Structure 1
């Protein structure tokens, strides 16, 4: 096993994650199998309870691990599936050592930072690095270890010491260090002193960098490279200039052009010619070609697609890192340049018109002019009425829409209020006393502990059989009957309201569709005799008072006019459900250009070369309408492949099945005497849970 450690100096947030991911990608182009580990020095057990506006998004893994957003970079660049063990935090390591001490594993010794904590860190790295992470099922060849924070911080000291020891444990020929540092530009001059000081501190701690990745807003001058080489005790070929580029997808190419691959082949004694199987070499070569085509294609994009993101944490764009990347992946697939506009959800609410009319009108101008509207996840009441207003605009004006997690729930609330006539519909998260709680707290979720207690990880969604012919979202998943996406939520759609929501507006003579709505004529097709059983293709719904209920007296033209106006909004279907059939996980509006809501977070499984299906459909509909969407559906039906390894899906399916079985037991009421009324769920479960807005 070869280990490449990536550390950072001068400032945090300098781009270590992108450098680490790019390094791993370049090694994969050689045919090597690569895994990654992220070390976060904070005391939290995981990132689940941290505010997105402070730390960025919480990235969710297949096994339900809530981790740092850099693991999202690893999965996207390396096309691997990691576990919660790939994220090491101070809290996790201390808990591990304390548990060992309580069991008596240290045989009565005084437990100390050195050697017990540092040894535990090294053991963790070696153990996790050997786990298969891709579809080969084989042990990786190289492990990229990113040390979070800044070298010199008191929090990172035990990890720096552990890595100092680790280089001797695995051998110098198996250990290399990349130090990422800042080269600021002051008065037009590129300054090297901060990097010199950072390298001096690093060497004083016992770690000598093999490569310096110098971050700068502009390309490094040759004189600056030579100066860094002289004062930092490295060769000029060991200084990589990493300047600002149009897209992070260009960074691997930038590093390759400066000789990173050649250096590590020599430094780590990588037997590329004789030690790698021919199929892996071929796969690596294909990866290099596809990635280069991706970056070159990105530079040449001319046509644009404008998307508005209506969110709660727009003050820090890293809060929606995976959403942004998923939009970019989909835009690249359809050869469009993404133009993303940020709208703070609270700016769309009526109160803002009084407090700050300029922001209010600017926000609504962005929404009204957008070709696509996206509402991502979040927690808490703030801004949700603005989200509901944006969802209503997209529904009524036939603007492509994608709602994720909270975005899915507010879209259902909006539909219940404005189509189904449930004017007081709401979510028990937002209003514990709402009259019609169409969104409720899940009964099995803890209300006393926030960390790691949500419905987390890879879960299946089963499409209804009737959706096979008409559902666009199902076709975007290749027509599969079951799809897998990662979840992170405490609330769900209330099962008691499903029939009411799918019925739509009871006063409108709309025909319920159970199969493909291929045309308006098909929607209006009526059986020659009234339907007498649920097996009928279609069944009539109540008509408005001004129309006679007898079929012969209903004027076809009147029905056509009403259906033509309302068919885009009155036909909501929960097309994807959990294995138990109780949880609604995917919703779709019939005859809308593209209106999809998902309880899951599909952005966590998107890849640059394999875009997330919901995002692909959304971008295609926004960029080129029905023609482009149909084109992408045709491609997906032929070639879509899920990003998760089959073995991982099997394991996770077993875990999910057990979890759903446990959920079912929680849902079942206590045994009741025959003939007694069965208790309802909504009132007992509609109490507001303790989900904090910051725990998103």
Structure 2
């Protein structure tokens, strides 16, 4: 039977519960155990798919087409385990499922209540689709004390009783702030947070203390005493220079060993931290670097492009380079300023996005990259903008655009209302925005002698998608006559998946999101090749 580890957070949000969970997962996995990671989010949205990146950050997409919290990206990058739809749930999804059952009369006339119906639904999710895993790590979103998270905390309290304390473990992550004015580290916020948790019936077994400097023994002892936790289980995590130090830091603090001690498990072997030490050294010590411009609509919020930032870092690791990210807001990028703002960059990337805002700035940057032979990578919306730029400036179709941007245009890019997946017709719509896109893993075939095929070293690939607009295949001949090759296409020959320009050192755009499959220990080939091209452009 699986052992369940519940990770909660206190004092403030964004302390790194996802990164802590992912690091613990790697350490346990490296010791020889099978691990599963899950995220329980308290917000009322069904999923983050319709949420603004400014509100929520990146929407991470799984192989099976779930739009999920960005923490699942951390889980995948650290553990290498591909997440599933069954690994992320929200309050909205829980309530939606309950109300559907109620409408169908499945509760047999009973009054539907938070306890037991909501808590039972949450408990069912926690144990759903678990087979031979040794550990299931469940992160609870939000902060203890939030009204939204109360049903989840009650559910995991009940769950611990159901499976027994020998099969469940509570980890609480808190902030231990340093007060510069008094030169003191304060434990009171942690004490109050744990008190709040205990008032809900949950006694944490391990406390992870996030701090910017080492916590003296006296303060750790104080936390141990007032929070009713063994001092060996008061784990310190100091701010690291790169997130890839986290597994090293947690192992040094014996987090993984304390988890095994709690469950009375003798370790199969010691975790292998050499790959992380090598990666950390590369990220922090590489003398050479390249400047990569990310031109998008959400650059003011770093989490909006979290997987993208990490994938570029992975490409840098592969090439033993530091990546200097230059974030440019496409809204304010004027044609007259493009040359000045991009003069010092070695590569240009246009990420995914939605809507008209900022499109002209993106198109101007793509034109500059194309004409000046600067390595260019377009992703999803970035591919659509690259095709529109080429249509306008090379094919001389001045009204070329996307129906997402203008209804009075020549539709080089248009809404797709149906497509094929595993031999079945899938239908989309622009009316209901949530979950109606082309989502998840889809195959593509790459053209022989194309650059992208050389990069992948395969003719057939599978990549994750998240979009509802597609490049118009009817213009393929026009583009290819002028030098833009449709180098990747869907198996039914209907949907362009990748384009490249032949007479350019490195100009590739793809309809899918390769960043979702990149790992620090296994960088995605597209990003590795893009960074290598940028290095040559120095």
TM bucket, shorter chain: over 0.9
Correspondence for 1:158 among 135, 144, 151 = 151
- Residue 12 of structure 1 aligns to a residue in which SS? coil
Deviates more, 1:437-446 or 1:294-303: 294-303
Q: 1:262, 1:428 → 2: CA distance?
A: 56
Correspondence for 1:314 among 293, 299, 302 = 299
The CA deviation at 1:625 is: 5.2
Aligned length: 526
Deviations 1:501-551 (A, max 9, x none): 1111xxxxxxxxxxxxxxxxxxxxxxxxxxxxxxxxxxxxxxxxxxxxxxx
Q: 1:495, 1:311 → 2: CA distance?
A: 26
Alignment of 1:676-687 (within 5 A): none
Q: 1:47·1:67 contact (CA, 8 Å) conserved in 2? A: yes
Say whether residues 1:424 and 2:409 are aligned partners: no
1:410 — aligned with what? Answer: 385
2:467 — aligned with what? Answer: 489
Q: 1:93, 1:311 → 2: CA distance?
A: 34
Q: 1:52·1:313 contact (CA, 8 Å) conserved in 2? A: yes
1:294 — aligned with what? Answer: 279
1:443 and 1:96, CA in 2 relative to 1: closer, same or farther beyond 3 A?
closer
Deviations 1:225-281 (A, max 9, x none): 2222222221222112212111111011101001112211110122434xxxxxxx6
Q: 2:41·2:88 contact (CA, 8 Å) conserved in 1? A: yes
Say whether residues 1:329 and 2:324 are aligned partners: no
Say whether residues 1:577 and 2:489 are aligned partners: yes
- Residue 98 of structure 1 aligns to a residue in which SS? helix
Q: 1:375·1:387 contact (CA, 8 Å) conserved in 2? A: yes
Q: 1:320, 1:220 → 2: CA distance?
A: 33
Q: 1:372·1:401 contact (CA, 8 Å) conserved in 2? A: yes
Q: 2:5·2:135 contact (CA, 8 Å) conserved in 1? A: yes
Q: 1:593·1:625 contact (CA, 8 Å) conserved in 2? A: no
Q: 1:340, 1:365 → 2: CA distance?
A: 17
- Residue 465 of structure 2 aligns to a residue in which SS? strand
**What TM-score comes out, normalization by structure 2 length?**
0.95
Q: 1:348·1:364 contact (CA, 8 Å) conserved in 2? A: no
2:456 — aligned with what? Answer: 477
Alignment of 1:442-457 (within 5 A): 442-444=416-418, 445-457=428-440
Deviates more, 1:233-242 or 1:396-405: 233-242
Deviations 1:543-575 (A, max 9, x none): xxxxxxxxxxxxxxxxxxxxxxxxxxxx21011
1:659 — aligned with what? Answer: none
Q: 1:58, 1:144 → 2: CA distance?
A: 21
Moved segments of 4+, more than 4 Å: none
Q: 2:86·2:128 contact (CA, 8 Å) conserved in 1? A: no
Q: 1:321, 1:303 → 2: CA distance?
A: 23
Correspondence for 1:597 among 490, 509, 514 = 509
Question: Larger Rg: 1 or 2?
Answer: 1
Q: 1:37·1:87 contact (CA, 8 Å) conserved in 2? A: yes
The CA deviation at 1:115 is: 1.3
1:245 — aligned with what? Answer: 240
Alignment of 1:300-449 (within 5 A): 300-349=285-334, 361=337, 365-434=340-409, 436-444=410-418, 445-449=428-432
Q: 1:618, 1:220 → 2: CA distance?
A: 42
Deviates more, 1:220-229 or 1:40-49: 220-229
**What TM-score comes out, normalization by structure 1 length?**
0.74
Say whether residues 1:61 and 2:62 are aligned partners: yes
The CA deviation at 1:610 is: 1.0
2:135 — aligned with what? Answer: 142
Q: 2:245·2:276 contact (CA, 8 Å) conserved in 1? A: no
Q: 1:439·1:493 contact (CA, 8 Å) conserved in 2? A: yes
The CA deviation at 1:298 is: 2.8
Q: 2:292·2:324 contact (CA, 8 Å) conserved in 1? A: yes
- Residue 128 of structure 2 aligns to a residue in which SS? helix
Say whether residues 1:229 and 2:230 are aligned partners: no
Q: Mind listing any 5+ residue stretches in structure 2 that lack a counterpart?
A: 419-427
Q: 1:473·1:617 contact (CA, 8 Å) conserved in 2? A: no
Deviations 1:175-216 (A, max 9, x none): 111111112222232221111110100011011111111112
Deviates more, 1:185-194 or 1:239-248: 185-194
Alignment of 1:495-574 (within 5 A): 495-504=473-482, 571-574=483-486
Deviations 1:381-413 (A, max 9, x none): 111100001101111111111000111111111
Q: 1:309, 1:295 → 2: CA distance?
A: 23
Q: Mind listing any 5+ residue stretches in structure 1 that lack a counterpart?
A: 132-138, 274-280, 354-360, 505-570, 627-696
Deviations 1:141-165 (A, max 9, x none): 1111000001111111111000111
Alignment of 1:594-673 (within 5 A): 594-624=506-536
Q: 1:578·1:584 contact (CA, 8 Å) conserved in 2? A: yes
Q: 1:308·1:366 contact (CA, 8 Å) conserved in 2? A: no
Q: 1:263, 1:190 → 2: CA distance?
A: 24
More strand by share: 2
Q: 1:219, 1:364 → 2: CA distance?
A: 46
Deviations 1:646-690 (A, max 9, x none): xxxxxxxxxxxxxxxxxxxxxxxxxxxxxxxxxxxxxxxxxxxxx
Q: 1:9·1:198 contact (CA, 8 Å) conserved in 2? A: yes
1:172 — aligned with what? Answer: 165
